Structures are given as structure tokens and as C-alpha cells.
Structure 1
Amino acid sequence: MIKEKKTILISCDSPRSLLDFRGKLIESLIVKHEVIIFTPKIEQDWIKKRLTELSIKIYENELNPSNVSVLSDLKYLFELSRVIRAIKPDVFFPYTFKPVIYGVMVARICKVSHITPMLTGLGYNFLDVGSGKSFVQKITRILLKISLGASKRLHIIFQNEDDYYTLIRSNIISKRNITHVVNGSGVDLSYYQYTLPDSLNISFLMISRLINAKGIKEYYYAAKQIKKKYPEVVFKLIGAYDDNIDAISSELYSKIKTDGTIQYFGLVDDVRPYINQCSVVVLPSFYGEGVPRCLLEGMAIGRAIITCNSVGCRETINPNLPQTNGFLIPIKDVKQLACKMEYYISHTEDIIRFGENGRKYATEKFDVKKVNQAMVNILENTGI
């Protein structure tokens, strides 16, 4: 018999993601269920205020998502175990790597009835990034295999099919696992409303953390190439430069801030004004994305895009050529990135046409209402 009202425990590695990526999902869940959050410490008052307004109980922890810290990770395991035993959730919904790996292990031990981890991309763990990270990769893969062992209690949620097949090929999961694929985190089409792009004063915008695998270096050097031929073209960058194992070098960061090639804005609370003011959204990422949120936001607002033919990113380009909304380029290819930028500069009509196609594609495939309904169905229909 399925229990109507459930206690759903959500575990994440970043409090910003609770409203940025999961806000609408949480709003959908609280209509029928009790939602409880287990999150790293919330520094932003507006996030805590909004969650409180939604009558959501919050448990905070000291998890460091970006770096390996044995003490921090062990403390996370202990604190999550204590929370699960106290609230006895019907459904445990962790997303991103550490909450998935550690959280599923704890939830299994605590005998949570239904565990629904979501992998929002595989990150570095299945990339060929050299021996420097190989030990961490090996440990992560071992822990992931242990965590995701097939069970009737476990329903794994992917944001693209590539990640599912990667884990199958790597023998981390098997076809006995119960799995679901949803179209990323979705995008709120009423919040990210269409605006006409400026096709006269061309500007490119990249929204990303300042890490190597997101393609920051490629964006910078492509911008330098274009600026030599088209000095009037503007390049903008939004995103945090923080403590991360793959953070760009201090030398590149200094150039970005000071040499005038790129206008750097750091981390912003609302990306909409910046997308509204740009002509094209760029993300040359080879990170191992789920489906990049910044591209969905750009598409919803009606911006043509350039991204890599890499996991997650390729999902955002409509494969039907008459309805194409942008370009896929090879990873780490500065020349091709600059070439596609120059295409838009020379074919300004396609800035508008591709942008309109992008809005249509976002509406058809990535509408947050459709994605969240699929998510709610997975979380609710667990046979409790």
C-alpha cells in the first residue's frame, strides 16, 4: 500500500542549489509531503528565509563538496546517520557526488525504505585528466559502486543517458539497477522570459565556476583571438573563483581580471540581466555535466549558444538542423570556438533565429514543470 503523505529528506552539497536548481521541485513536493533538508551551512540569509517560509525543517552540516577531507566526510556520515534515525524519512533524495555516495551508504544502514539518488553529472570522475587525480578517481569509483549496488529500495536518477551508459560500461551499476532519466534540472520559463537579443552590439557571455574543465582557458584565448579582429565585440564572464581541486591558475585568473579581454563579474545572485544584455551564451565545458543550467537559462531567454560535444552539453543542442539553436564544438578546441564566435558576428540574423529556436526547444524538452512532474512521480511512486 502506498503511503500518501511522506517524509522526504533531501541532501545536497550546496545550499544555493536548493533554490536555484531544486526550488520548484521542493514547492511541488510540499503540497503533499513533509520535506526536510540536510545541507552544508547556509550563509545566505535569503535562502534560509525562503526555506523557512516554505515550512521546511533544516539540518546543517560542514561538508566540503570540492575537496577531500577525511574528518569533514566522516563527520558528515555521523551527522546524517543521526538525522535519519531521528526523523525516519520515507524517501531519501540525495544529489551530487558526496551526498549520493555517503548518503546512500548511510540510508542503507539505517534501512530507509526508498532511496532515490540523483547524479547531476559525473564531473571529473570519468574523465582522462591525468595521474594527479587518478587516486581520487579510483576511490570515488569504488565508493560509487558500493553505494549504488542494485536493490529494490534504490532508484537512481540520471540527467542524461550518457551517464547511465558510462556507469554500465564501468561496471559500477548493472542492468539490474532501477534507473530513470530526466531532462536535467529543467528551467522555469516564466522566470527566464524571452527577450530579443542585441544583434548589433555583439557580446558573448559565459556563466561558470572558474575551473579548468568548464573551459575557462579556452573561452579566454578564443576571446583574445576575436578581439584582435573585432575589438568592439564584448566578452563577459560570471562565476566564482574558489577553493577547488581544478581551479584555474592564479596567473589566468589575474589576466581575466586585469587585461581587458573579458569583463569579469564574479558570482552574481541573478544572471537574468546579464543574459538579457548578451547576444550569445557560451559554455566550452568538458566537465561531465548533467545538463548545464546556464545553457538552459540562456535558451529560455532566447539566446543562441556555443557548447562542446561533451556529456550533458550536447543535450542542449536540437539535433534537427532546421530548428538548431547553436553549435557543438570539440572539447579544448580554441580555434573552433573562435570560429563559431566569428560565425555569429558575421551572421547576426542567426543570433535571433537560433535564439528563438532555443526558446522553443527549452519549452518542448526542459520546461521545469515537465521535469519536476517526472521527478515527483519517481519520488512518490516508490511502493511505500
Structure 2
Amino acid sequence: MKTIPPKKILIVCDSSKTLLEFRGRLIEKMQEDNQVFIFTPEITQESVRNRLQQLGVIVHENKLNGSNVSILSDFKFIFSLYQVIKSVKPDVFFPYTLKPVVYGTLLAKFCKIKRIVPMLTGLGYNFTDGNRSNKIVVSITKLLLKFSLRSNPNLNIIFHNKDDAQKLMDLNVISLKHKIHIVNGSGVDLSHYTYAKPDINKVTFLMISRLINAKGINEYFEAARIIKSKYPQAEFKLIGDYDKNIDSISKELFQKITSGKPIQYLGHVVDVRSVIANSSVVVLPSYREGVPRSILESMAMGRAVITCDSAGCKETVNQESGKENGFLIPVKDPSALASKMEYFMLNKEEIVNYGIAGLNFAKEKFDVNLVNNDMLKIMNINFS
């Protein structure tokens, strides 16, 4: 393989909480023969700060809130990022998630960075067919993306699924002139999330998600009520933050969930592995994703899955005969979700079979090492 000179790589994100969880192995690989710089909202976890220091990564912090709409906050973010770009003079600019992609890509073009690689990890509910809410926000988002992603010889755009790329083409945000790459999500670390045989005597369904409408929280709640009425022994758990977001679930639904019936709400969990290990089937009735990380982690631990036949989600279910690892259901259909839950209640041995098939699928398609190698090739970064 041709040796590529060491590079200065600037990563821009909208949250420090998942920086190492989602990009840790990629950052490690980048830092081996290069210098990585990170522009991130304030790091509140000392373990994250310490690990980045150990790796030799240079960190610049800001006060961006990626979930909130604030013109003043966004302008401060843009100005701070411009200063960092001028100081670092990166060879490779790698922003991911919406605001870093929109603002960062524009600045990177203005500053004439030679390799600009924005990654859209998912378009979110704003781009879901049938969404009639927040029309102004949706329109502004599309216009900003179109302006930011205007074709440029230095620009390479990464998507986590083909549907997102096609959606932006259909909306004339991007075109065939663009250099577009599809990778299999963020990948999953198969050395960290390891197989644990599921308990099929006490069937437990688990959902891991932020508590926003587009993740299908209400559908999970309603399906759980249906199944609980027929199978009182079934258990349902939910992991996830309830924070301020334009699409957060209603207070009424949150109160129902925290009542403990029929769902046991566990709130924020730092390490989900023990909860996945104590579950039987993992559920995510999301309207749209990049590629859902919670499903990949669950597959790596040998869990059967139920998710929606929607962008990003459908990538995680192998429909090849004899290799099925779960079910796809229509979006916003709690009855369909309950029906597939009932299948596992009545066919408990299939929980194990589907889980093993999911682990094999994760090894074949979603291994973080395979995904990261693809990413580094796109960025033209040396790796061994």
C-alpha cells in the first residue's frame, strides 16, 4: 500500500458524551501516524478527557448545544471554529452531525482545506416522509445543507445508508456530481460487545433510545401494553435520556413511562452491556436512522431485533433465508410491533437462533475495524 504522509486531522462534533463511544476506535487509528485535533462541546466526563490526553489528541472545547435552535449560540460556534481552523490548518476536516456538517463544511471550503469529509450519520425525522411539523425548521435545514454541500473538488460526503443519500438527491440538495460514499454506520466493537446467551425462560424486551417521538417511544409503550395484557410474565425495559429537544416526548407520556407499568424505565445507563445481557429481544421502532448504534451493539451480544422498515433501521436486519436475525415492521404501527413481540413469546427458541444470526451479520458487515478502514480510505489517511 502506498505510504501517505502524516496529516493533521480536525474532527468536529456536537456532543462529547458519545465521542469515544462512537468514534473512539477511529480516533485511535487516526492518531497512530497522524495528529488528531477535536473541536467539541465541553467535555464533562473526566474519563473521556483523560483518554484523549493519553492518546495525544489535542482538544478545543466550545459551548454548542446541538439539539437547540439558537442563532447566537450558532454564531459563537462558527466564530470559534473559524479560529481553530486558522490555527490548526488541518489537512483533513471531518465534521459529523448536522450543525458541524453545515457550518463546518462552509468554513472548510472558505479556508481552502484540501480534504473535506462531512459525515451525515442520519437525516432525522425532519426528512421523514409525512412529517408535517416544524416546517420552517425543515425548510431552513434543507437550504443550509444545499448551500453547505455545494459540489467542490475537495468535498467527499459520507452517509450511513443509501436512503439518506438518495433522499438528498431527490430534494436536489446533492447531485451525481458529488463524491458520495456509503459506510455501514459507526460499526460496532466486537471485542467490547461480546456474545451472551439470552434468557428465554423470562422474556424481556429492551429499547435503548433518547426519549424523542421519532424513535418510536409511544409505539413501544403501546405495544408493551398489548403484550402485557396477554402475557403478564413478559418484561419491558427502556434506557435513554429525557432531555430538551425539539422532538422530545410529551410530559404525559414520560409520566406514564416512569410509572413503571408496563415499562421499567432505567434512565441513563453509562454501560449498556449488562442490561443487554439481561434482555432477550431488543426493539427500536424508529422512523429514521443513520444506522442505529443500539441495534448493532445488541446484535454483537447475540440479541434478536425488531425494528422498522425505515431508512437506516432496515440495514440491520438480514432477510436472507436461513440467516434472519429479526423482523422489520411498518413505521408508527404498535400493533405490528406487538405481533412480532408475540412471535418471540410463542417461539422462545427462536430468540437464540435469531440472536446468533445477528452476531454473524454484525461480524460480516458492521465490525468497527472494517468500517474504520473504509473511512480512512475515504479520508486518504494512512493506516496499518
Note whether the superposition's TM-score is higher than 0.5: yes
Task: Compute the displacement of 1:164 (Å).
Answer: 1.0
| Ranges of 4+ aligned residues in structure 1 off by more than 6 Å | none
- Alignment partner, residue 307 of structure 2: 307
Task: Compute the displacement of 1:3 (Å).
Answer: 5.3
Cα distance in 1 for partners of 2:216, 2:96 equals: 24
Give the counterpart letter for 2:254 in structure 1: Y
Give the counterpart letter for 2:87 in structure 1: A
CA contact (8 A) 1:116 1:157 kept: yes
- Alignment partner, residue 258 of structure 1: 259
Task: Compute the displacement of 1:70 (Å).
Answer: 0.1
Cα distance in 2 for partners of 1:201, 1:17 equals: 32
- Alignment partner, residue 66 of structure 2: 65
Give the counterpart letter for 2:365 in structure 1: K
Partner of 2:37: helix, strand, or coil?
A: strand
Task: Compute the displacement of 1:127 (Å).
Answer: 1.9
Query: Residue deviations 1:11-64, cap 9 Å, x none?
Result: 001112211110000011111110000001111111111111111111011111
Query: Residue deviations 1:87-126, cap 9 Å, x none?
Result: 1000100000000001101111111111000000101221
- Alignment partner, residue 199 of structure 2: 198
- Alignment partner, residue 325 of structure 1: 325
CA contact (8 A) 1:9 1:91 kept: yes
Give the counterpart letter for 1:217 in structure 2: N
Give the counterpart letter for 1:25 in structure 2: L
Give the counterpart letter for 1:363 in structure 2: K
Cα distance in 2 for partners of 1:184, 1:153 equals: 23
Considering only aligned residues, what root-mean-square deviation do their CA atoms show, in Å?
1.3
Cα distance in 2 for partners of 1:38, 1:381 equals: 19
Structure 1 residue runs without a partner (length 5+): none
Cα distance in 1 for partners of 2:132, 2:181 equals: 33
CA contact (8 A) 2:30 2:381 kept: no
Query: Residue deviations 1:213-236, cap 9 Å, x none?
Result: 000000001101111111111100
Give the counterpart letter for 2:338 in structure 1: A
Q: Map 1:264-279 to 2 at 5 A.
A: 264-279=265-280
Give the counterpart letter for 2:170 in structure 1: R
- Alignment partner, residue 91 of structure 2: 90
Cα distance in 1 for partners of 2:112, 2:153 equals: 12
Which stretch has the larger CA shift, 39-48 or 273-282?
A: 39-48
- Alignment partner, residue 213 of structure 2: 212
Cα distance in 2 for partners of 1:28, 1:71 equals: 36
Partner of 2:139: helix, strand, or coil?
A: helix
- Alignment partner, residue 152 of structure 1: 153
Aligned length in residues: 381
Cα distance in 1 for partners of 2:177, 2:165 equals: 13
TM-score (norm 1): 0.97
Partner of 2:222: helix, strand, or coil?
A: helix
Q: What's the % identity of the aligned pairs?
A: 54
Task: Compute the displacement of 1:381 (Å).
Answer: 5.5
Query: Residue deviations 1:71-90, cap 9 Å, x none?
Result: 00000100000000001000
Cα distance in 2 for partners of 1:242, 1:77 equals: 24
- Alignment partner, residue 5 of structure 2: 4
Give the counterpart letter for 1:218 in structure 2: E
Which stretch has the larger CA shift, 122-131 or 71-80?
A: 122-131
Q: Map 1:341-352 to 2 at 5 A.
A: 341-352=341-352
Partner of 2:200: helix, strand, or coil?
A: coil
CA contact (8 A) 1:125 1:141 kept: no
Task: Compute the displacement of 1:129 (Å).
Answer: 5.5
Tell me, yes or no, if structure 1 residue 280 matches structure 2 residue 281: yes
Task: Compute the displacement of 1:376 (Å).
Answer: 1.0
Cα distance in 2 for partners of 1:168, 1:258 equals: 44
Partner of 1:125: helix, strand, or coil?
A: helix
- Alignment partner, residue 185 of structure 1: 186
Give the counterpart letter for 2:377 in structure 1: N
CA contact (8 A) 2:197 2:302 kept: yes
Query: Residue deviations 1:155-212, cap 9 Å, x none?
Result: 0001111111111111000101011110000000111001111011000000000000
Structure 2 residue runs without a partner (length 5+): none
Cα distance in 1 for partners of 2:220, 2:170 equals: 32
TM-score (norm 2): 0.97
Cα distance in 2 for partners of 1:127, 1:315 equals: 17
- Alignment partner, residue 239 of structure 2: 238
